[in-house]
Structures are given as structure tokens and as C-alpha cells.
Amino acid sequence: MYNYEALGGTEGKIGRQREREGAGTEYFWKKVFSYQKKITIMDSISCPGDKQKIQERKNIMIKAGIIGATGYAGAELVRLLLQREDVEIVWYGSRSYVGEDFASIYRNMSHILQDEPCKDDDMAKLAELADVIFTATPQGFCASQVTEDILSKAKIIDLSADFRIKDVEVYQQWYKLRHPTPQFIAEAVYGLPEVNREKIKGARLIANPGCYPTCSFLTLYPMVKEGLVDVGTIIIDAKSGTSGAGRSAKVPSLYCEVNESMKPYGVASHRHTPEIEEQLSYAAGKPVVISFTPHLVPMNRGILVTAYAALTKPVTAEEVKEVYDRYYGEEYFVRVMSPGMVPQTRWVEGSNFVDIAFQVDTRTNRLVMMGAIDNMVKGAAGQAIQNMNLMFGLLENTGLKQIAVFP
């Protein structure tokens, strides 16, 4: 009899179940990947105890390339992917550090990486080597590089705003850039797994959501979708750590400018506004216009959103909680808090989790909705990897189970 206990995990569980059902020692592994340069998806493997096949499955390898690897979001991708046994980073792209050893720039990875020089941003060349390409680059780069030939060879997960907004004129108005490849906008899938999971699975091009939109939308989505709030009254107050501004040197991000101080910025003009409005409009089934004000706070990581909207009918805290639970009860990364609790950025720092809370304000007939994420993980790299997992048929939380770092 085959020793299913030795396998453990899902495979062992399936095997033991089939054995109890009288199916003998044959059982099936769904979506087993065999990687050479690209991936061949096998429908099933009959395994009566073939240790070699078991070992091959353990050695599954996704070849990933990162362009913009030395920025904060890119380095976070490296940090998270290096912890996995099923991913090989084949390209550390950095226009600013070509030829320099990646670990000499980020010393926290020096014990893992040796002699990994940074490469340029040649996406066409990278597509010959990688199964998936992450572009953690400024707006305009991915759109200027992507071609049909590249998309036929590798999947792309773009962490910039190039393909998030479906109306190219809105993109050009807010980002002050001409979009060079608008033909790919319709195809791009907005990479918010909690909403677009099935579309993501079959996508070639993912528009990874922005940090503020991720936190804002997930906080508001169930209430907007169910019509519990008047979408014409939405106000979003958001606060972010300084890593959201990127790694390049800017006077507003200097220590003396940020420490012991808080300030609003991008008032009535922040570029994430149309992205939030577009996604909320899809949820509401009609155009949504919001007031959105972000603030810079003196911490490294984290986003805290507090959103306000008028209620469309009287509701109790229990009714609001039931709606949130209906939407997010099965979501691994979304944690809906009990009435009376509030989210804190320290409880999500370094993790891919989203903490959501709310308060019914009967005096003003408003609903106060609150959310917290790590802007570098769920707001950028972690969500990108969550999307990659879906695209390659893996468990969505693979490599993303890190618990928040505290203290």
C-alpha cells in the first residue's frame, strides 16, 4: 500500500480520501507544472509510488524577471520571491545600477544572493528567458515596451498605472503622458484578486492596482456594491508611509522634511483619484466621483484609509458586518474586524493582509469605513505575487503567508 502520510499536505489528503473510497493507490494531481523554459500544464499524473515524479513536482520552477528591481516595490518583489522554492529570479533589472551586484545595494539579501549583477531594462530580451515579467517602473515604461510578441512569450504584471485606467484620455489627462500602446488597455486585467479572480487566471497582462486604490476600494466595495451608501457623498482620507514616494531622492521625502510632521498632498489632484473612481463606478453600476485626500506620515510603511459616506437607509452594525462577511468571509487576505474595533498599520506591516473596520454614525447618518494595508506588500509587490499565483494555477496565498512584523 502506498504511504500517503509521507506526502502530507493536499496530495496526501486526497490520496487518503481516495484510498478510503476504494480507489486504490491511484490519485490525481491537478495542474501539475513541468517547467523548462516555459510551462506545460498536465491534467493529471497517475502515481502508484513514483518517488521521481514526486521529486519533480517539488522542483517546479517559475522563471521570473523584475524590471525596476532596485526600487522599493521591486526590492520587495525580490525579498518575497527569494523565499520561495518554486520561483527563480532570472533578471534583476535596474537602469540605474547596471552591472552592480544586487546584494551590494540591498544588503539584507547578501546571504542569499551572490554575484547577481543588475541588468538593463530590455523587456524583449527578458521575454526569451522568463515566464513572467514584473515591471516595477515609473509610469510610461511598460506601455512603451510591451508588444504582441512579448506577450506571446511571457506574462506581464505591471505595477505602474499604464494599464489600470480603461479610458486612455483620462490616463493622459491625469498622468500627463501620451499612451504609446492603447491597443493593450482593453485586454489588461485590473489585478485585484478579491474582485477579478477568474479574469486574472487567464490573463496575459495584469494592471497591478495602486496602493491607495487597493486599500480604498476594498474598504468601500461591499458597501457600494450593495447600495448601502450614497456614492455621491464619498470622502476618502488616506495616510501613507514615505516608502510610497519611491526610492529616488526628493526634497519632500528627506528626513527633516518628513520627521515629526504630517501633511496632505495632491489635494484634489492625486493621480490615484480616477483609478479609485473607475473601480467604484463598476461596483456601483454608475459614475462615481469622490473627494480623495492623501497624507504623508512619518513612518516607513503602511496605508490607513478612513472613508465617509451617507447611508441610504438605517442600518445596524450587525447588518453592516454581515455584508462585509458575505463578500470577504472566504478571502484569505481580508480580515473584517468586529464592531468597535479599528485597524492599525502595525498589524499589517510586512504582510499581504488587509484589515477592515467600520462604525455606523447614527447621529450624522453616515457610515465610517476604515482599512489598513502595507503599501509595499498588498499595495504593490505582495498583490503582484498574488496575481502571479493565480495566473500560474497556484494557491493564491503561496509565498504570502507572512505574519505582520511587530514590534
Q: Which of 35, 58, 81 lies at the terminal end of a domain, its last residue?
A: 58
Q: Give yes or no: residues 225 and 357 share one domain.
A: yes
Do residue 267 and residue 140 come from a single domain? no
Tell me the mean pLDDT in the region 113-130. 96
At residue 10, the pLDDT reads 41
Is residue 51 situated within a structural domain? yes
Q: Look up the CATH number of the domain holding residue 168.
A: 3.40.50.720
Are 87 and 51 part of one and the same domain? no
> pLDDT tens-digit profile of 224-255?
999 999 999 999 999 999 988 778 778 888 88
Residues 251 and 339 in one domain: yes
Q: Are residues 233 and 323 in the same domain?
A: yes
Residues 221 and 296 in one domain: yes
Distance CA 341, CA 323 (A): 17
How far from the centroid of its chain's Cα atoms is residue 397's Cα? 11
3 state DSSP class of 66: strand
Q: What is residue 248's predicted lDDT score, i.e. its pLDDT? A: 75
d(C-alpha 129, C-alpha 65), whole Å: 8
CA torsion, points 200, 206, 210, 213, in degrees to nearest 10? Answer: -40
Going by their DSSP bridges, the two strands 366-373 and 303-310 should be labelled as antiparallel
Give the residue numbers marked as catalytic: 211
Average pLDDT over residues 184-197: 98
Query: How many H-runs (helices) and E-runs (strands) does the chain carry?
Result: 14, 15
Q: Is the Cα torsion angle 83, 62, 400, 116 positive or negative in sign?
A: positive
Compute the mean pLDDT over every residue in the chain, rounded to the nearest whole number: 88
Place of cell 491537478: 30
Kindly state the average pLDDT of the residues 108-125: 94
Domain that holds residue 54: 4-58
Strands (E), 73-154: 87-93, 132-135
Residue pLDDT, tens place only, 123-167: 999 999 999 999 999 999 999 999 999 999 999 999 999 999 999
Query: Is 46 among the domain residues?
Result: yes
Q: Are residue 301 and residue 360 in the same domain, yes or no?
A: yes
Question: Alpha-carbon distance 329 to 340, whole Å?
Answer: 18
Do 312 and 217 lie in one domain? The reply is: yes
Query: In this structure, are residues 361 and 8 in contact, taking their beta carbons and an 8 Å threshold?
Result: no
Total number of domains constituting the chain: 3
Match 537602469 to its residue by C-alpha cell. Answer: 95
Q: Where are the alpha helices (DSSP H) in 106-251?
A: 123-127, 141-145, 148-153, 168-175, 193-201, 211-225
pTM of the model: 0.85
Contact call for residues 294 and 358 (beta carbons, < 8 A): no
DSSP 8-state symbol, 351: S
Q: How many CB atoms lie within 10 A of CB 307?
A: 26
Model confidence pLDDT, tens digit, residues 282-332: 999 999 999 999 999 999 999 999 999 999 999 999 999 999 999 999 999
369 closest CA partner among 312, 322, 314, 304: 304
Looking at this protein, which amino acid is placed at residue 94? Answer: S
Is residue 290 classed as helix, strand or coil in its secondary structure? coil
**Domain termination residue (choose one: 151, 170, 187):** 187
Residues in CB range of 25: below 8 A, 6 or more apart: 1, 2, 15, 19, 47, 48, 49
- 211-225 and 317-328 are packed helices; what angle lies between their axes, rounded to 10 degrees? 120
Residue 46 has pLDDT above 90, yes or no: no
Q: Is residue 294 part of a domain?
A: yes
